[in-house]
Structure 1
């Protein structure tokens, strides 16, 4: 809706079609003119109406005088036919929310109320022009346009901070006052965020004031129309509305962001993009603005900028980057009037295409990644695998080229940065390019696997980090050579290319760190500290790792290195979660990383990593909704970063699969694991520690999908590899042993399961300590083996210690803690310690149902145990209900554990027999026998017991209870 700017009297003939206010005001003025008197004021509250300033589909705006404070205001009314009582009450609440906003770029709201069933808003009357009029009438430079739009955007961000959304952001609803200040105006469609547009509004919507009474035919509205609202479809302005708003879906602040970007592109280029033609006009803009605005115009609201502040910060570089090019430098460089330079205010007489100034910004990269390197890749891995790897390198190289061009344009086109800053950007990019050279040099190593190369590509320095405040300052030739040599040594130590012994690699990394501290530069010390911390973490030495990451933090604070600060906090989050399982410390470190990340543009690889770490923290805390939300956000952000992050996408898919399995959504989890395998498994070869991870992840994927022989091959391969790399008594080896316990338990091989459980427990206990959380994995395996062998006292001891360790680390409402309670409760049930068992089982069931859902697979064990308890108490009906519920849950599992299922069928058979249901009892007994027979010799005793029972209860007509 257009906001008015000057008072005009009601002209002859204008009363027709106006609301009752216009009619009444006209009547009073006519009467006064005839009688020669002053017209009687028409009051709305304490405001005397003077004249209508404008009208549209959703209401009208009037100039009025506040008789108490003697000031002019703009009084905005919404049309009565749009507001039923409930809608009026909502509008009042939202207008009151506007009245609480105090921001220089938001037109102040003084008061709200109702008049004749219509909500009104009293606002400051500010003389001026809409941004559309301002652009058309004054022809401002693009720099002035951008600055003005950003100022208006600050006001829009304040509206969002109040929990409101505008829903009609466009140049006509933003204004520049005669004081030069930009403001957000016209709040006729403002709503609470994340509220679906009511159907009543959709049905009542008008086009430019057209009636929507029954039988009225609205004017057609096309996608290019600037009409205020589209009849029967949505409220807002079609040409500026986000796709989700056009579809009538729930909208939030991201919809306002879309309209803001449409208006800005239109003002800068004269062309209006839409969700269908988002790129329209963008090619005229500098690369940095193209990237920022494309994201704001993304059809998917979740892929737009996080919020208006993030968008505005991306549009304008932080203050440390702003720098006006001196006139003498402009003359020397001869910058000219091409489209892009005209957009940003250069007025040189001799036009020079700025593209020519930045055309060769990626020249050095073309030598690093060319036909020769592509050929070497194909020779090393074959054409199919080489093509996939080349796509990943191409993605990184494209990002590198884009940043090189953007850094150049900031100086030579946009005039936002100094030549010195460009030198720093280029120095940083050259170091990243050297990392690519080092990676490609690894193709000569016959032990290099495609998986390893894919991981290296994903861990190349993110090119857009070279635009950060702490981009590497230019170095002398000697300093650069020293940094590259130290970086080469650290790379080989980090990945064990020359030496696999972890202790020796740590020792040699310490020597590199000492050298970096002595000779510099700071970037070498950061790289050495992070490398040494990562290797210490691999070795399970939390104290040493924490010390190294802390030292990097100190250096980052001293040298103002934001990127290093973020890296250290992310590593500390991982350490607290994986090695200490200290949720409080993990959350704190993670929050510090997020604080530092807030200043970085998105998408950025560090944002994605932080989301994934946050999802893992939430999973351990039992906050499964939050865990899934963050995990999906991480996966989306890694996908947005392109093929170069294929390895990270695989890790993120496995992480999300783990969360979905915890929620009982096994089929979805398996689909993600299959996707990860398809995307990032190239086939493995021995040579680095990550091969052990490849084997283990493949083994786990096969295990959860029931491919037990394949799982055994992969897991034993993982065991051999990690023993070779880390030594037989390492945390990584204990982890594989614990996974093998689950495999052999599923195969019904208790001797093998016990062997690996004892090894896992002995290594964890001696290497990490008797109360370290990792020991719960081994103790759970030991308890499960004892339980299967009917050593219920042994199972109780293992599960009780496991629960004690878990209680010290996990939240009281954690589903993982509830799982440990169920295990112990099950063992106590078999020991006929019913009261203790029930005290554990019932709260655990409630926790799992509340956090994971009523169909979580672990609940089958709990319901089985409760069924046994009730059976022993002779509550046969209650026992039957619990056991049948256990079977319902098992039926959801495509690969149920035979021993568990056999137990439930066997117990239900005896319960039904005592209830006199002989045929049902016989069926359950037969199913139990079938399951125990599957297990072979280890379950021979159970199978014999069931056969004897069936024979004992058999009659000539069939089994009887």
Structure 2
């Protein structure tokens, strides 16, 4: 892809310990208030200076974490760098100083709970929390880079650089607010900027639910500085003229003396005084507007190099000035645009309702304020609060004549995909050591570059259309919808890139497919990518919903990358929040995503529940596209995955109606493919084939003829043709699918191994044994090299090779193959798994062919027991191992045991779940046992019944069981007498 210079705002690197940081032209105020504030659990008259605080010897290890070195300390806790021996990673571990103080322990637990509810690229990730020798601890990601105040001091920073960095931090706060959380201690030392310019907010130890007073605020009441005998002033905001006595006993400490990575250093005021809002000084409950105030204090300080309310020598006046709203005049000669200054001033309003309606609204206003200066149209994620068309009108008002327009898309795209992101994706993918990682990365890089180029073109088209509409007074809503669709595409791209930048072997395996599944950009032009549902009128609710949708895009990226369990946790958090908000469209989206992830995890019943909820909510709105997706997926889950084709056909009716309402080619193709799967589950392969074939041209038109989605349909066609005993036609479809996957994914990809295995099955059915052997061997070699020797998929071609050798009358060659396949299944999926039971069955059949009856009985008995344990004693899967076991016992002369087992198999094969040919094989097995027991008449009756069942089979099935039919006919000819 094109290599670009680093975007503005990238840090130049963290200064080393003891190094003198490079200063901005205007000196940044490094220490605006002492970070060592009183311990909320200590009585005021017992506060001690920092220098005499009791020192605690660091532990050597805490659970699986080996302590490496201290990173910093505060009044409540110590932070250590630690090594996680289980997951081979370095972490930051915060440990309370002592066992006392239940409120301290509760606060740390609150921090863990708050962070656990967040999943956002601009918020620190929490790993776990626990207790060590009576002291609570919290484990977080070890953050690279520098705190925001050090980043500001390390080099001259332009106004756009500062705004872009603060906007990222604000997105982290907005994500917290969307979860109903308030940080309550936002300040530059609680924001970290890494070497790639990514910003993360941390230290949520003071976080509390929005709108509800905390335990601390209810206990303490107003902050002592703002009340008591020294208080002066009138009205709702009384201010003090002097400092609080408690603060006189606390030794001040510069931020340079400790590592300020993940520490909470607060007193009973629950916040750092330099950044506290008026309501926090009064002891009133903090809200999202309180965080906004703290954010604007820090932003003012960063833009102007000084505090907005007091000079350095006037700290005792800070509470009074804050509560009276006495903002200082900005220094002369500053480079901050007046529009930007007014935005920050509003965020510093004394009354919360005088500030911006939400953090996201503030971020939109900050970005728009730079438009006049930079001539860049900023179109952000918060369309719900400030319309895109409105923003464009503002932009037009200040755009000089003749200036090239609509160039802002490149900057927006660079936030999620540029040369730096590409390099991190490459390092992550190649770092997995997967043999095909380099080839996969090249395909991923090309795919993402192409998608980014399409997005830029789409953004430019939309921007020009917006300009024309704004000039002509056109449809603002339509324009907003179009740009909102593009923003969702950009967010979806960013979520996938984030997952790829942390790739493991499983992500590499799914990466090319994940890129190919990104939603089409062109749909935004036709407004097919947007819901017709109007956003909520409440701007704060609209912004919370947009944040949640961003989180859902990460869940979808995790799903596409094969990280299903992680994606499920993310999606479930959004579903919980959506249910609490009661906003039905978001509930539909979240529960649909939860259902999809349950499906991929094999949790079919939870998948069905979540999908049903999504469907019924969607039909009530109506939300046709998601109703279609939910009902289509439900039909597949209940019919193909749960074996309930009748219920699947009922859901197909809902899916058909929804697809017709949507009316797109993709909707029709999805419906036809699912209908084919349901019909196949209902044993109607001819009808299933017709549906798969009808879907094929629609998919080719929608995705292109060489897309993996087309390959998947061709695979379904091939396997259905094989079911219909049309191996030559099946082979053509399978080989087309193989060619597409090999070209799209690379010759070393596991999906190519899957198709080689399927090709071997078709060749084996066609009687082309030598070609089948080669195909199975290629599949096995590729999968073993790529997936490792113990991956369960390595066992599949081994088992097929053993089966083919057995059919060719080569049990000696089949034996080691079957034994190896069994060993892999037991190691990877467990000795009690159904997969292991299938391998015991195969091994028993090989022993039986070698006339090793004792070994055969042992293996086949084991197969029966494992199937019983895994599937239940009445499952039809027991028929085949019971019949094989009965035959081994018959050949041993154990006729009573053989009779019991064959009678049981016959009973199970008479259920609706069993195929007719299974019943025929059970009757013929009973015939042989009864003949050996001397029951010749009844034996011939059973054999003739088997013959009639075989005669009634469809022609395709008769060809598949031709050998069994011939065995019955030969037996009847040889056993014609009494």
Q: Name the TM-score, length of structure 2 as normaliser.
A: 0.44
If the length of structure 1 is used for normalisation, what is the TM-score?
0.45
Q: Which has the higher contact order (CA 8 A, sep 6+)?
A: 2
